[in-house]
Amino acid sequence: MLLLALDTATPAVTVALHDGTDVIASSSQVDARRHGELLLPAVDRVLAEAGLKLEAVTGIVVGTGPGPYTGLRVGLMTADTFGLALGVPVHGVCTLDGLAYAADIEKGPFVVATDARRKEVYWATYADSRTRLTDPAVDRPADIAERVAGLPAVGAGALLYPDTFSSAHEPEHVSAAALASLAAQKLAAGEELPAPRPLYLRRPDAQVPKNYKVVTPK
């Protein structure tokens, strides 16, 4: 097994290689505006660090969000392209699940929250590092304050809104190393991972203007 994992659902552009036993190379850079520019060089970097060629990869793991439309689609389209070019399966993993897996919390319940912009967070609650209790959602922190009150919290969303998330823990952003490790464990146990379908949870910020004037030649 050689899994290439990547995620662009948060400001982190993160890539890792997992050989079925351990992470053998990884790279993470935080830059919310340069996902498309940074992702492929990061893939080249981890392959070079591991001394491997892309053709050695036997499966792709990609974070499916939730995340902002523009960043999230960079990782998903890249994963699909690699899968088609190499003829290998592409597995989806919820980005929040990757954060939960990497959390420094011994036992739950706890909450994972990432920055959804617009003064909102993407979030879900967990019983432990591998068991999600609720579906991913997007809400204003004040609207979920009672539901997450007293729970340890993980992620950038928790750090941004301390009035709602009173106990923030590392990590701030997801790592492809955690996604790869989680996926490798599930695959080794015979679990089927979901298809790489994006969890947008809301419409994109950029939309076609309404009532615009059409200009056509006479």
- In angstroms, rounded to a whole number, what is the distance separating the alpha carbons of residues 35 and 201? 20
Cβ atoms of 32 and 1 closer than 8 Å: no
Note the pLDDT tens digit of each residue in 41-81. 999 999 999 999 999 999 999 999 999 998 999 999 999 99
Q: Residue 200: pLDDT band by 50, 70, 90 thresholds? A: very high
Interval 158-199: pLDDT, tens:
999 999 998 888 999 999 999 999 999 999 999 999 999 999
Looking at residue 50, its amino acid is A
Give the pairing of strands 137-139 and 23-30.
unpaired
What is the model's pLDDT at position 215? Answer: 56
- The whole-chain average pLDDT of the chain stands at 93
Burial class (CB in 10 A: 0-12, 13-18, 19+), 55: exposed
